[in-house]
Chains A and B, each alone.
Chain A
């Protein structure tokens, strides 16, 4: 029945991730951003928390405790630490979760055990395309069946960790419907192109990937002949991203709140002024509201409900909230907010990405 309190296991998990975010991620995130690289050791440590293997069914070597709500709780804590590092650590999810939700028995048996190993498998996915009017339901990348193979053409952008990937799950339109194809990296016609130069999440390596007459076996079409339920996958991705957004927003809010309490002007902390305090109250409220919207959508997915409408509504609100909160955080810090010595400008740049990040995370 109606309850908004995480259970004991969820609390243990979020405590673990919160500690990791605070003690490990926050120590390196700024350097990682400036250097454009996530330290290998940290990425491994993040993977070893075992978020994904917990979700994989027992039959495939995991713990079978898949829950979107739990995933949302975990993601918020993780991205509170840093968004780019979270995306990096969770890149294998981009293949594991779609296989788990939409794969055939053969595909599950072949791929899912790979995600329960100590070393993260080098899998990634490409959904976003380098266009202005991007619509995941109407992809420009095409898949045409020719006998026993599919021929893929098009280009994908913001493909995380593509440079070292072994398999890329490529989303493409087959007869106008979005489908997904597992493409080994050495397939002829697949090219890992230039690294993207993004406004934020700079620690995460993402690339342009081009496909010209890439031929893959029909066995590599996710979900077999029936294909995938793309709206289901997109909903799972959007809930993940929204949970990630809440973590970013909370990071900004908490920093601004603490700053406002110690920054003295006119003889007292600026938080003593309603102009500042009310901004912080609005930020806290927007974050709580966004989190509840995320949880509700996550819960609906856990119930197996079709939640496209709820997810769309939720996504628009959360995208707006994270932007607003991150912007206010910079504002509260004033001039210091604009300086890279302080973290809030980074969170503002990351926040702006959520309207573009479709496909960059999934739970």
Chain B
């Protein structure tokens, strides 16, 4: 039944996250923006106990299913549940609220993040427990995902990072270069986290050769080759990783027994499923920034005596009032698309089309909304005294990462037209 009611436990959780955003994120926004590569310690310390609990809750049913040690299951079947699973929904709300606080800091959340999304999507229950358990104990840890290469952006099939099985030691040996890795350094150098690395076991096979591998923190042979300097989200480090004969256990390839075989071609589909979860997550982050900019703009304009009267006719409204209403509409529309894609996950439905739709719409919306906010706030909007200009710079990444707007349009277009990759290039 169609309903827009938010589960009460999420409403409660939001109060806590809002407090985190106000106390541990906003006060450091400017400083972390001006001092790129500085780590958001206050945010990390404040959220680590909370994220540990979150991951524990997710793993609990899996632990039961796998007898706590990963035995007794095969295949990547999700655990059976009664009713909808709102864990992703609660995560989406958290991302939105944290990104309202600061999108760059949110990305530094000590949590499996994208790496976790990949493990959840492509891994077996046993793998999920084995890899994610570390996020429930000890020192803060981070998760990352490495797909992009200098010669392989949207075109994953051009990937050159290789994984070769060494039959003597039963280990995979990874070689190659990955770029634009969010949290790559935090996950692999600074903590015992993990990074899911996409690599090919057969470069001639294109997509079919691609599998995803879990590289754990501090594995020898991984080097941070470069730290990028960016337009926005500067609190979050983006690095290039070099893999030089990096040896990982055979069991670290994500998927069931069949996927693990060198000759199996099933890895890519599993890896691509990651995006069904990660795209709504990016959309939620975009929307958090949009709401921050919108609320701030509305509040500052109210101080100037400019308040939207929603009963005015179009003829009576000023251009600024119409702009604000359009900002609100685009924010709300993108948020609803995001909630829909997430609700589909809660109900165990396929959401590939809807995930791409919400992602590209939200990236588009936040880019426009934050640019509008700077415009409407005039010289003060352009000033670094306020955060509006930072939000505008932060916002733009959402139009780009997790698939550019255009790649997601392409996915939507193929889906609605029923076209293959060959029919619609």
Interface set of A (CB-CB < 8 Å, partner B): 1-7, 10, 69, 132-138, 231, 257, 260-261, 271-272, 274, 277-278, 280-282, 284-285, 288-290, 292-293, 295-296, 299-300, 308-310, 312-314, 316-317, 355
Give CA–CA (A272, B354) in the complex, Å.
Answer: 21
Contact between A6 and B2, CB atoms less than 8 A apart: yes
Interchain nearest-CB distance for A131 vs B (Å): 10
Known: A133-B313, A308-B311. A289 touches B337 (CB 8 A): yes
Interchain nearest-CB distance for A180 vs B (Å): 17
Interchain nearest-CB distance for B414 vs A (Å): 8
Known: A292-B340, A299-B2. A1 touches B84 (CB 8 A): yes
Give CA–CA (A222, B22) in the complex, Å.
Answer: 49
Contact between A299 and B4, CB atoms less than 8 A apart: yes
14 of the cross-chain contacts (CB-CB < 8 Å) are A1-B7, A1-B84, A3-B347, A4-B343, A133-B313, A135-B313, A135-B316, A272-B419, A281-B413, A288-B340, A290-B333, A313-B310, A317-B330, A317-B333
Which residues of chain B from 43 to 73 have any CB-CB distance to chain A below 8 Å in the complex? none
B423 at interface (Cβ–Cβ under 8 A)? yes
Known: A135-B313, A293-B329. A2 touches B416 (CB 8 A): no
Partner of A312 from B310, B334, B347, B361 at Cβ < 8 Å? B310
- Interface SS of chain A: helix
Partner of A285 from B325, B339, B361, B406 at Cβ < 8 Å? B361
Contact between A293 and B332, CB atoms less than 8 A apart: yes
B336-370 Cβ-contact flags toward A at 8 Å (1 or 0): 11011001101100000010010011000000000
Give CA–CA (A173, B206) in the complex, Å.
Answer: 70
Contact between B333 and A289, CB atoms less than 8 A apart: yes
Cβ of A314: which chain B residues have Cβ within 8 Å of it?
329, 332
Contact between A292 and B333, CB atoms less than 8 A apart: yes
B328 at interface (Cβ–Cβ under 8 A)? yes
Known: A271-B419, A292-B333. A3 touches B3 (CB 8 A): yes
Contact between B409 and A278, CB atoms less than 8 A apart: yes
B246 at interface (Cβ–Cβ under 8 A)? no
Contact between B413 and A274, CB atoms less than 8 A apart: yes
Give CA–CA (A235, B408) in the complex, Å.
Answer: 35
Cβ of B413: which chain A residues have Cβ within 8 Å of it?
274, 277-278, 280-281
Contact between B423 and A272, CB atoms less than 8 A apart: yes
Cβ of B329: which chain A residues have Cβ within 8 Å of it?
293, 313-314, 316-317
Contact between A137 and B412, CB atoms less than 8 A apart: no
Cβ of B6: which chain A residues have Cβ within 8 Å of it?
1-2
Interface set of B (CB-CB < 8 Å, partner A): 1-7, 84, 86, 89, 310-316, 322, 325-326, 328-330, 332-334, 336-337, 339-340, 343-344, 346-347, 354, 357, 360-361, 406, 409-410, 412-414, 416-417, 419, 423-425
Cβ of A132: which chain B residues have Cβ within 8 Å of it?
315
Between A and B, how many residue pairs show CB distances below 8 Å?
Answer: 142
Known: A2-B89, A135-B315, A316-B326. A285 touches B357 (CB 8 A): yes
Nearest 4 pairs between A and B by C-beta?
A317-B329, A135-B313, A292-B336, A277-B413
Cβ of A271: which chain B residues have Cβ within 8 Å of it?
417, 419, 424
| New contact pairs (12) apart from A299-B4, A316-B329, CB-CB < 8 Å | A3-B2, A5-B2, A7-B2, A134-B313, A231-B311, A272-B423, A277-B417, A278-B410, A278-B413, A280-B413, A317-B330, A317-B332
Interchain nearest-CB distance for A292 vs B (Å): 4
Nearest neighbor of B342 in chain A, beta-carbon distance: A2
Nearest neighbor of B346 in chain A, beta-carbon distance: A2
Interchain nearest-CB distance for A294 vs B (Å): 10
Nearest neighbor of B328 in chain A, beta-carbon distance: A313
Most buried by A among B4, B312, B336, B419: B4
Cβ of B328: which chain A residues have Cβ within 8 Å of it?
313
Interchain nearest-CB distance for A303 vs B (Å): 9
Contact between A280 and B417, CB atoms less than 8 A apart: yes
Nearest neighbor of A317 in chain B, beta-carbon distance: B329
Give CA–CA (A227, B423) in the complex, Å.
Answer: 61
Give CA–CA (A3, B325) in the complex, Å.
Answer: 26
Give CA–CA (A167, B3) in the complex, Å.
Answer: 37
Give CA–CA (A293, B86) in the complex, Å.
Answer: 22
Most buried by A among B2, B340, B416: B2
Most buried by A among B313, B333, B337: B333
Give CA–CA (A277, B417) in the complex, Å.
Answer: 8
Contact between B361 and A299, CB atoms less than 8 A apart: no
Known: A2-B7, A69-B2, A257-B416. A313 touches B325 (CB 8 A): yes
Nearest neighbor of B361 in chain A, beta-carbon distance: A285
Cβ of B409: which chain A residues have Cβ within 8 Å of it?
278, 281-282
Give CA–CA (A246, B280) in the complex, Å.
Answer: 24
Contact between A1 and B416, CB atoms less than 8 A apart: no
Interchain nearest-CB distance for A270 vs B (Å): 11
Interchain nearest-CB distance for A261 vs B (Å): 6
Nearest neighbor of A296 in chain B, beta-carbon distance: B4
Give CA–CA (A227, B425) in the complex, Å.
Answer: 60
Contact between B337 and A292, CB atoms less than 8 A apart: yes
Interchain nearest-CB distance for B32 vs A (Å): 33
Nearest neighbor of A9 in chain B, beta-carbon distance: B1
Give CA–CA (A13, B62) in the complex, Å.
Answer: 41
Contact between A272 and B424, CB atoms less than 8 A apart: yes
Cβ of A312: which chain B residues have Cβ within 8 Å of it?
310-311, 325
Give CA–CA (A257, B315) in the complex, Å.
Answer: 36
Most buried by B among A2, A134, A136, A261: A2
Partner of A308 from B2, B310, B406 at Cβ < 8 Å? B310
Cβ of A69: which chain B residues have Cβ within 8 Å of it?
2
Contact between A2 and B343, CB atoms less than 8 A apart: yes
Partner of B314 from A260, A272, A289, A355 at Cβ < 8 Å? A355
Give CA–CA (A133, B312) in the complex, Å.
Answer: 11
Partner of B1 from A3, A136, A288, A309 at Cβ < 8 Å? A3
